[in-house]
Each structure stands twice: as structure tokens, then as C-alpha cells.
Structure 1
Amino acid sequence: MMNALERRSTFALSSIFALRMLGLFMIIPVFSVAGQSYQGATPALIGLAVGVYGLTQAILQIPFSLLADRFSRKPLVVLGLLLFALGGAIAAMSETIYGVIIGRAIAGGGAVSAVVMALLADVTREEQRSKAMAVMGMSIGVSFMVAFSLGPWLTSLVGISGLFWVTTIMGLAAISMLLLVPKVTRHHKNYQQGYLAQLKQVLKMGDLNRLHVSVFTLHLLLTAMFIYMPSQLIQFADIPLASHGLVYLPLLIISLFFAFPSIILAEKYRKMRGIFLTAIGGIILGLLVLIFGYESKYILLAGLGFFFIAFNVMEALLPSWLSKSAPIQSKATAMGVNASSQFLGAFFGGMIGGQLLLLNNTAMGWSILTGIAIVWLLISFSLAQPRYLSSLVLRLPETKQTDEWTSQLLAIRGIEEVVVMSDQQFAYVKIDKQLINEAARQDLTQLLGKDVAI
């Protein structure tokens, strides 16, 4: 069970994610119409105004994450949120479509998704990581549904410029949530290397690349589905566009009842690879149902439900697996590459979804997406089970300097990282139990002055 600090930090960091995503998603259902009021607006420029945020996110995730592996993560999150708020303000004050594009690009420049996830990994024990990541994944899904319902309503009240001001307020509000997250100092075995060498090391790791392919494909399929699905809900399920949020939200809630037990099974019984592959199979099953049953309202909703259940399992497992597989000293960098892959997947998913609408063959469209998911499954079969670390919670010593104490800990075989929370006067010590031998246990007992169960 998560302790009070983990619960508080998970709530705060998930809220930061949710507030950013709300600001992003509320624009999507209204801007294709409301954007026409700007000077110089064309369909292509309106599309660019919506999509440029994702492009700058994809480009800048890696630079932000490289910095986050060397410097304190919290100031970088603040910088990213200030850019997000500034971009919203510029878009709000713009009268031309070009001003909106610039504002959206600057907002996307606050590319700190990977930094927030790395910070969450710092402040949670290894055994509780999947739960924390699951909550963060769910917050993204819920913000998506809420945004699609709130966006049109808020626009009718405050207009499109007012909606951009709301995103600025959300960005500033997100900064205040960082007050709930403890200050941490990370200590690990010293692997000094340049920025380029660090990035190359991450990009050469096969399993990490398979996880990047996974998040790319997952968000490609999600984005394509949300472009392709609405017209079918209207045509075959007789559900008007304004009510689609009422379809997605119950399906999201139902999916939670399946997602959390799956995550616990993956973590507690070390079945992550099996659950991961099963979730990809669930996505394929949902898409197969849609190929053959899209003309029936209830089969259409069932296929969507299978997809949502599997999607939310994947959304929780991916960052947890990534944090286990990434090198300790390059955790944020690996998450940055993964976040860039996620945004690129959404970008290409939007392009593919638009092309599917031009097919005039619904079954063929779902078949194409199913084919993409099958290729993803084949690529993922070569994933190895991730390494499982354990965490000890230790009080900071009163008689020694913290830096000296952490150096002595890291010299012990099997201890991979020490995350110090000086304000709370304790540290998370991350251990690879497979490397701990009797000599290491004796060294640890001597350093702590007591036996520790490992």
C-alpha cells in the first residue's frame, strides 16, 4: 500500500498532468469551428494551430529530459508550466491565426511530461510504482473525457480567447501542486558521460526501443480511433456528437475495474510481460469486434470497451516498465524519448485517422488499424521480463553527513540508487535483490547498526 507521502505526491503530479491535458484537449472539439473567426484563418492553418503543440512537445521532450537527469527536476517542471501558461496567454490575446499558432507552439515548448514521470518515479517505492503510474494514466484519460464535455460549454460562456485564458490559469494552478511534492536529492553510482553519449546509450537498448514503439503505436491507435469513431457513433449508434463524452466516460470507469487488478497482478506476481502482451491482444480483440460488428450499436460499444480496458492497462504499465528498464542515471532521458514517441504517435494517428475517413469503407479502416496492432504485437514478443528492484525506507543518520552515508550505501553490492528526502528525514534505497549476497548484507548491517530484512 502507498504511504502518505506517495499518495500526496501521486495526487499532485497526476493533477499537474490532468490540468495540462485539460488545457490542451478543451481546444480540440471547438477550434475547427471557432478558429474560423481569426484573421487569415484557413483549414490548413487551423489544423496547424491545433497540431503544432504536439510537434514542439515531441521535439523538446528529449532536451528537457537530458537536463532532468543532471539537475533538480522540480525547477524544470516549473519552467515548463510557465511556458505552457505563457503560450496560452499569447494565444488568448491574438487576433490572427498566426498569433494562435505561435502561442500554441510556445505552450508545447513546456515539454515536461517525461520530467514529471521521472519525478513520480523518484518519490515512489519500486513496489508501488505501477499503482502511481496507473493513477497518472487514469488522470490523463479522465481529463480527456472532461475536456470534451467542458470545451464546448466554456466556449459558449467565455469565447475562444477566454478558453485560452483558462489554459493559462490551469498552467499556473499546476505550479502550486508542486508544493505537495517533497524535495528530493538523487544519488547513484557515478557514470559520467556527455549528453550525446547518454542519449546514444538509451537509443541502443533494444527493449527500451520496443517500449518506445509501443507507446507510439498505442497513441497512434487512440488518436486515429477518436477521429474515426465519432461519425460511426452518430450513424450506427444514433448518439449525437454532444453526448459522446457520456459514452466515453462510463467506458473509462468500467475499464478501471479491469485495469487496476491487472496492474497489481503484473507487479506483485511479476507477470508484467504476460499482462503487457495480453493487453495488446485486448486492443486487437476490440478492433476485430469493430471490423465485424460496427453496424450494431451494442457491438460497436463493446469493441470500444475492449479497446479502453486494454488501453488503460497499457497506459499504466508502459511508464512503470520503462522506469524499471531504463539505466538509473538516464531514467528521465529514456522517458523523454518515450514521451516524444507518444506525441509523434498522436501526430501520425491524426493523419491516419483523417485518411481513414476518406476511405468510405468502414470495415477496411478498422482492418488497417488492426493490422498495425498485430505488427506491434509481433515486435513486442521479443521483450524480456523487466528487472524488479525493491525499496527500503531508511531514516537519515544523525551522526553522519548525508553525502558520506549515501556514498557508503552505494558502495554496497546490489544497491542501485538512494533518493534522499531531507525535509522528511528519510530516504528510499533501491535494491536489486538478485545481486545482494551475504557479504553485502553484512556491510549493510554494519553501516545501519541493525539487521535489515531484504
Structure 2
Amino acid sequence: MESTELKSTLSLSSIFALRMLGLFMILPIFSLYADEFSGATAALTGLAIGIYGLSQAIFQLPFGFLSDRFGRKPLILFGLALFAFGGIIAAQADSIIEVIIGRAMQGSGAIAAVVMALLADLTKEENRTKAMAMIGMSIGLSFSIAILLGPFLSGIYGIRSIFLLTSFFAVLAMLVCVFWVPNPKQVQVHRDALPAMDQIRGLLKHAELMRLNVGIFILHLVVTASFVVLPLALRDYAAVEAKDHWLIYLPIMGASFVGMVPLMIVSEKKQRTKQVFLFSISLLCLSLLLLAGFHDLRWGLFLGLLMFFFGFNLLEALMPSLVSKIAPAGNKGTAMGIYSSAQFFGAFVGGTSGGVVYGLWGMMEVYFMLAGFSLLWFAVAWPMSAPKFLHGYMVNIVSEKGSEQETEQKLLAIEGVEEVLVIGTENAAYLKVDKLRFDEQSVREISLARD
């Protein structure tokens, strides 16, 4: 990776991380401080936690499409400005409704697809997968830091300071965008980074991808609903003060990360992805049943949390990789756009349903509801086909109008090429290849130039 590409990757990763850090810091603490806002009920507290997911799901795809017309950086700056203003509204709120408005505004600055498209503009095809993986790691790291930092800082400075801090993070991200992120030489269409309208209908009918969309919807429903009641369980049943919750999360998160490494190796190196995937869903379900029955006992709460985060972190690592493996050639950007929208909509439904169920019945019923959703997910995932271990590969090609099918046939005849999509108007060919058998030299011999 060249120095410019590394700079682009690190700067865009930091933008992603700062924004997600701001969103995630509210999750483990808001239930504890919701009573500070007038009109707060359990249902409205859950809505305040999850509402960002609804606005983000709505604006995720439009932001990506608009960036092709108005430019990547202007859309990123606009989205970050919305995020900052939303944090200020929530910090100054007197009522829970004002907090909900602020959180909804924060979610409406849905810049994820735009950041990925800018990354694609700034990196070569052969380095793009590594660059996107670094952004993925930054998101995972921001979640872990947020779970620790939110309780610690709110215990000292209060919940309103956390909202202000999210706005400060947004301003920092804007400065990174202006002064650190390089300007692309040209804005290009990248079907492996941005959604394409003409692919959405077909992918919504793709059975294997829809299993993953249902799965990520349920996973983020579960985690968001859990954080409606989890902080209350730690305070009321484990007698842990709000400012000390991070001391519980730290060893649990650390142990879950260490434990998932061998299973990730088995998944990728031994090509046992389906087995590891189903095991992770099972573990998530068992953890929720344990929390439903024994959340009022310290051992049950802590063991349930360890199992929960083990399963959650493993699934978060596995699922984007599965989308990449399963998405047809040239469809990854659209597949990831639909997947991300399902993820954020799940967060909205989780926060809302968790608050409603907790307010009407109680904590045990919330966890039983989530265990039921996890069982449903397991039933949906069980018939999945074992994914092929294929990798995306994009090349530039000048193809005369009407000759796309002929070019596709030539590419499919090359050893290791499993799928091909040629887009003549974009001078691009998108391939899915088996790296162990891929004959790259033959690609060059039919006058394809690497991007």
C-alpha cells in the first residue's frame, strides 16, 4: 500500500471511528440517566436509544447516491454537521422528546456508504480489500472503546457531557476530512463500494443474502434492546455503580475477543464458516435464556454477559465477510448497502421494542423476547449453503457497446474465475475468483488493465 493510500485509509478510518464512537457511547448509559429528562418512560427511553437507527436506515442509500452528484467530501461534511447539531440538541434537552429529536438528527447524517466510496476513489483495487478491512476494524474498536468510555465519563461529568462529546467528535472528524483526507483525482462509480439502484430488486430476492439481512437485523435488534435493560441490571442486581460499569465490561470484552480468535481461524483457514456461524447464533440464544432466568443473580448476569459478547463479537466479525463472499460479482456495494440498512433498522426496532416490553412487563420478558428472536434467526440460518471462498477482483476494460457478453465469456474461461459482470458504460469488469487457482496472467493477456 502506497503512502497516499495508507494516509487515505487511516484518515477515513478515523472519521468512521469518531462518528461511531459518538453513537455507541450512549448505548450502555442512557437508561441510567433517562429520568433526568421530563416525560421519560421506559418506551420513550428505548426509542431515544434506537431512533438513530431509523434515520440512518432511511438516509443510508440516498447519501451514497447523492455523493456521485455532489461529491464525496461535501456529503461527508454535511452528514457530520447533522451529527454535531443533533448532539447539541440532545445535550441541551429538557424533555425526552428533545433527546429523541437530537438522536434522530445524529442518525440522519448517514455517511457510511460515502466514506467507503471515497476510500474506493483513493485506493487501488489490489489494496481496497485491506483498506476496507481496516475501516471495519476501526468500527469494532470504536464499539469496544465506547462501551468502556461511556460509563466512565458519564459517571464523572453526566449524560449531557456525553452528548456534547459526540458533537466534539463530529467536529474533529470534519477537520480530518478537510485537512487530512486527500482529494481524489476523479469520482468514479464503484459497484463494490456504493449501491446501484438497478441491483436492489434482484438482491432482495437473493435467498442467501436475505438470510444475512434478517440475521443482522435481529443481531442489532438484540444488542440495542439488551442495552435498554442491561445497565439497569448491573445497577440494581449486581450493585455496580454507573461509573464503574466499565470495570465489568472490560474483562468480559477482553475475554470474548481472545476466545473468538481460534474460531475465526477455524472459520477462514478450515473453511468451516457455516458451522462457526451457527454455533455463534446458538451461543447468543443461550446467553439470552441465561440472562432471562438469572439476571437477578451476579453469576448469572456475568456469565450471561460473557457468552453474549462472545457470540455478538464473533457474529459481527463473520457477517460482513459472508456478505462479501456471497454477493454476486459487481453487486457487493449494493449488498452491503441493503445489509447496513437492515442493521440500523434492527437497532431502531430493538430500542423501541425493548423499551415497550420492559415498561409493560419487565426485564425477564425482554430477554425472553430476544431469545425468541435468536431462535427464529437460527431457524432462518440453518438451511444456508456453505459459502464459496471467493474474492472480489475489479479490472478496467474498454469494451465496445454490445460486446459485454463476449468479454464475460472470455473471462469466465480463465482458470479460477467463477463469476463475471462487465459494465461497458463504466469501463469495468467485476470478477469473483478463487485465489488458489486464479490465473492473473491470462487476464492480462486479453488486454485487461488492472485498476
- Mapped contact 1:117–1:335 kept (Cα < 8 A): no
Structure 2 residue matching 1:43: 3-state secondary structure: coil
The Cα shift of 1:204 comes to: 1.5
> How many residue pairs get matched?
422
Bigger drift between 147-156 and 45-54 goes to 45-54
The Cα shift of 1:311 comes to: 0.4
From the superposition, tell whether residues 226 and 305 of structure 1 become closer, same or farther in structure 2 (CA, over 3 Å).
same
Q: Match of 2:106? A: 107
Q: Match of 1:64? A: 63
Q: Distance in 1 between matches of 2:434 and 2:80?
A: 38
Q: Under a length normalisation based on structure 2, what TM-score does the superposition of the two structures give?
A: 0.75
- Mapped contact 2:56–2:108 kept (Cα < 8 A): yes
- The residue type paired with residue 167 of structure 1 is T
Superposed counterparts of 1:4-15, under 5 Å: 11-15=10-14
- Mapped contact 1:83–1:106 kept (Cα < 8 A): yes
- The residue type paired with residue 381 of structure 1 is W
Q: Match of 1:138? A: 141
Q: Match of 2:213? A: 212
Q: Distance in 2 between matches of 1:110 and 1:50?
A: 16
Q: Match of 1:265? A: 266
CA shift digits 1:163-222 (9 cap, x unpaired): 5443222112123445357848767799xx983x43212212112211111111111111
Superposed counterparts of 1:378-417, under 5 Å: 378-390=379-391, 412-413=411-412, 414=417
Q: Distance in 2 between matches of 1:448 and 1:62?
A: 31
1:168 aligns with 2:171: no
Q: Distance in 1 between matches of 2:350 and 2:256?
A: 22
Q: Distance in 2 between matches of 1:93 and 1:296?
A: 37
Q: Match of 1:150? A: 153
From the superposition, tell whether residues 138 and 97 of structure 1 become closer, same or farther in structure 2 (CA, over 3 Å).
closer
Q: Match of 1:246? A: 247
From the superposition, tell whether residues 300 and 94 of structure 1 become closer, same or farther in structure 2 (CA, over 3 Å).
closer
CA shift digits 1:222-249 (9 cap, x unpaired): 1222222333333443323332222112
- Mapped contact 1:138–1:312 kept (Cα < 8 A): no
- The residue type paired with residue 222 of structure 1 is V
- The residue type paired with residue 152 of structure 2 is S
Q: Match of 2:238? A: 237
Q: Match of 2:343? A: 342
From the superposition, tell whether residues 98 and 218 of structure 1 become closer, same or farther in structure 2 (CA, over 3 Å).
closer
Q: Match of 1:353? A: 354
From the superposition, tell whether residues 273 and 4 of structure 1 become closer, same or farther in structure 2 (CA, over 3 Å).
farther
Q: Any gaps of 5 or more consecutive residues in structure 1?
A: 395-401, 419-426
Identity across matched positions, percent = 36
The Cα shift of 1:67 comes to: 4.7
CA shift digits 1:239-260 (9 cap, x unpaired): 2333222211221122111233
Superposed counterparts of 1:184-199, under 5 Å: 195=197, 197-199=198-200
1:305 aligns with 2:306: yes
- The residue type paired with residue 146 of structure 1 is L
Q: Match of 1:275? A: 276
- Mapped contact 1:142–1:249 kept (Cα < 8 A): no
Q: Distance in 1 between matches of 2:254 and 2:141?
A: 9
Once superposed, what is the RMSD of the aligned Cα atoms?
4.5
Q: Under a length normalisation based on structure 1, what TM-score does the superposition of the two structures give?
A: 0.74
Q: Distance in 1 between matches of 2:301 and 2:235?
A: 11
Bigger drift between 7-16 and 313-322 goes to 7-16
From the superposition, tell whether residues 91 and 202 of structure 1 become closer, same or farther in structure 2 (CA, over 3 Å).
same
Q: Distance in 2 between matches of 1:435 and 1:320?
A: 18
- Mapped contact 2:151–2:246 kept (Cα < 8 A): yes
Q: Distance in 2 between matches of 1:237 and 1:93?
A: 32
Q: Distance in 1 between matches of 2:49 and 2:288?
A: 27
From the superposition, tell whether residues 15 and 434 of structure 1 become closer, same or farther in structure 2 (CA, over 3 Å).
closer
Bigger drift between 246-255 and 43-52 goes to 43-52
Q: Distance in 2 between matches of 1:70 and 1:258?
A: 45
The Cα shift of 1:56 comes to: 1.2
From the superposition, tell whether residues 43 and 118 of structure 1 become closer, same or farther in structure 2 (CA, over 3 Å).
same
Q: Distance in 2 between matches of 1:323 and 1:309?
A: 23
From the superposition, tell whether residues 6 and 291 of structure 1 become closer, same or farther in structure 2 (CA, over 3 Å).
farther
The Cα shift of 1:307 comes to: 0.9
From the superposition, tell whether residues 368 and 431 of structure 1 become closer, same or farther in structure 2 (CA, over 3 Å).
closer
Q: Match of 1:222? A: 223
Q: Any gaps of 5 or more consecutive residues in structure 2?
A: 423-427
Q: Match of 2:40? A: 43
From the superposition, tell whether residues 367 and 50 of structure 1 become closer, same or farther in structure 2 (CA, over 3 Å).
closer
- Mapped contact 1:276–1:317 kept (Cα < 8 A): yes
Q: Distance in 1 between matches of 2:442 and 2:334?
A: 35
Structure 1 residue matching 2:323: 3-state secondary structure: helix
Superposed counterparts of 1:313-352, under 5 Å: 313-352=314-353
- Mapped contact 2:34–2:96 kept (Cα < 8 A): no
- The residue type paired with residue 252 of structure 1 is M
From the superposition, tell whether residues 74 and 273 of structure 1 become closer, same or farther in structure 2 (CA, over 3 Å).
farther
- The residue type paired with residue 444 of structure 2 is L
Q: Match of 1:421? A: none
